[in-house]
Amino acid sequence: MPIDNDYFKNRQQQNKGSNNTNNNGDFQPPFETPDIFKNFGKNSGFFTIIIILVIVFALAKPFVIINSGEVGIKVTTGKYETDPLQPGFHIFIPIIQKVITVDTKVRLINYKSNEALSGIDSGIKVNPAINILDARGLPVSIELTVQYRLLPHGAPTTIATWGLSWEDKIVNPVVRDIVRNVVGKYNAEELPTKRNEIATLIENGIRTQIEGLPNKPVAIESVQLREIVLPQKIKDQIERVQIANQEAQRVKYEVQRAKQEAQKKAALAKGEADKARIEAQGRADAVTIEADAQAKANKLIANSLTTNLLRMQQIQVQGKFNEALKVNKDAKIFLTPGGSTPNIWVDTQSKSKQSSIR
């Protein structure tokens, strides 16, 4: 059955006539078209260019943001510019130019044994420990950590000369070469005892050789010698030597202690002997002093006994006896030979009572 199109046309015209006419009967569109779209046909080329530029800018990203601790290297048609881009916002021309961002913060290379190897961090690389033959051909492994950084002012020249893998071309070969040259001069037994000396030689050698390169591309911050891995038989030998040294030190200590005890006893005995000698000497000196004093006193007395003094004392004593005879006429007087002064008087009146005068 054919569709009556006239019916639908009439209905559409009736709807338009009732909804889109004003009071005057003129047709009124449902909304007002903005001016920008009214003139779109005239300026379509301009808008197309703007849209294309926005899309190209968004896809090409002709700008770069350099963070702190980094520098940018602008490459124009394959040529590295010598002045690095400092941290901040920078614009470049896509296709013709590009910017390479390189890290200038402190980086680390850890040289570890195989069982201690782990993943690589953004600023930390892990390499196998450095295997070396000592002066006698025994294998030794050295574990160390190297801290270094790329110098910003020479970064473009460094990257242009060594490439982005500059660490493996500048730092790693020098570290391995210096460590082998230094440690290879020693016997394995000497390494633990000369650890500080070896660490200083390694750090000075690495620093001198790397920082002595043209334009000084890299600065060495520090080199730490962390571990010296010796063969098991060398470890056993060193342990035996240490045990023997400890025993020798113990014996030496005991001998020294016994010697000190003997010296202490000898000192005490000498002190006692010196004390006795000093006391005896003191007593002898006292006797000597007393004898000398007595002799001097006797000498003074003897010198003072003159003839006149003796005669005077004789008279005094005679006077006393005369007084005694007045009381006791029977008293006996004994005189010394030669008519000296009487020295004994006996009272004869009492048999039990006697007196003496000296």
Q: Pick the closest to residue 187 from 127, 125, 140 (CA basis).
A: 140
pLDDT band at 8 (very low <50, low <70, confident <90, very high): very low
Strand order in 79-80's β-sheet?
A: 79-80, 70-76, 97-103
Burial class (CB in 10 A: 0-12, 13-18, 19+), 10: exposed
Which domains are delineated in the chain? 5-59 (no CATH), 63-103 (no CATH), 109-150+158-230 (3.30.479.30), 307-356 (no CATH)
Asked if the model's pLDDT at residue 252 lies above 80, the reply is yes
| Separation of alpha carbons 204 and 183, rounded Å | 14
Which residues fall within 8 angstroms of residue 123, CB to CB, at 6 or more apart? 103, 105, 106, 107, 108
CA atoms within 13 A on the CB side of 175: 27
- 44-48, 94-98, 187-191, 298-302: least confident range: 44-48
Residue recorded with tokens 């993943």 = 119
Tokens of 348: 């004869």
Q: Taking 80 as the threshold, does the pLDDT of residue 281 lie above it?
A: yes
Is the pLDDT assigned to residue 135 strictly greater than 60?
yes
The pLDDT value recorded for residue 38 is 54
Q: Could you tell me if 194 and 185 are in contact, meaning their C-beta atoms sit under 8 angstroms apart?
A: no
Q: Can you read off the two tokens belonging to residue 109?
A: 């290379």
Lowest mean pLDDT segment, chosen from 240-249, 253-262, 281-290, 330-339: 330-339
- The model's confidence at residue 88, banded by pLDDT at 50, 70 and 90, is very high
- Specify whether the CB–CB gap between 147 and 222 falls below 8 A: yes
Q: What is the mean pLDDT of residues 22-48?
A: 56
Q: Mean pLDDT over all residues of the chain? A: 78
Mean pLDDT over 269-298 rounds to: 83
Termini Cα distance of the chain: 197
Higher pLDDT, 97 or 240: 97
Task: State how far the Cα of 305 lies from the Cα of 142, in Å rounded to an integer.
Answer: 109
Q: What is the mean pLDDT of residues 53-64?
A: 75
Kindly report, residue by residue over 162-221, the tens digit of the pLDDT.
Answer: 999 999 999 999 999 999 999 999 988 888 889 999 999 999 999 999 999 998 999 999
Rg of the chain over Cα atoms, rounded to whole angstroms, equals 64
What average pLDDT score do residues 244-257 get?
83
Question: Is residue 99 a contact partner of residue 90, using CB atoms and an 8 Å limit?
Answer: yes
Q: To which residue do tokens 């200590």 refer?
A: 253
**Range among 40-44, 70-74, 264-268, 290-294 with highest mean pLDDT value:** 70-74
The edge-to-edge listing of strands for the beta sheet with 355-356 is 332-334, 344-346, 355-356
Residue found by looking up tokens 């470049």 in the block? 92
Closest C-alpha to 345, from 314, 355, 353: 355
Binned at pLDDT 50, 70 and 90, residue 14 comes out as: low
Q: How confident is the model at residue 318 (pLDDT cuts 50, 70, 90)?
A: confident
pLDDT at residue 139 is higher than 60? yes
Q: Which amino acid is at 255?
A: V
**Cα–Cα distance for residue pair 267/37, rounded to 1 Å:** 122
Flag whether pLDDT at 11 surpasses 50.
Answer: yes
Residue with more model confidence, 292 or 115? 292
Per-residue model confidence (pLDDT) at position 27:
47
pLDDT score at 223:
94
332-344 residue pLDDT tens:
665 555 454 555 5
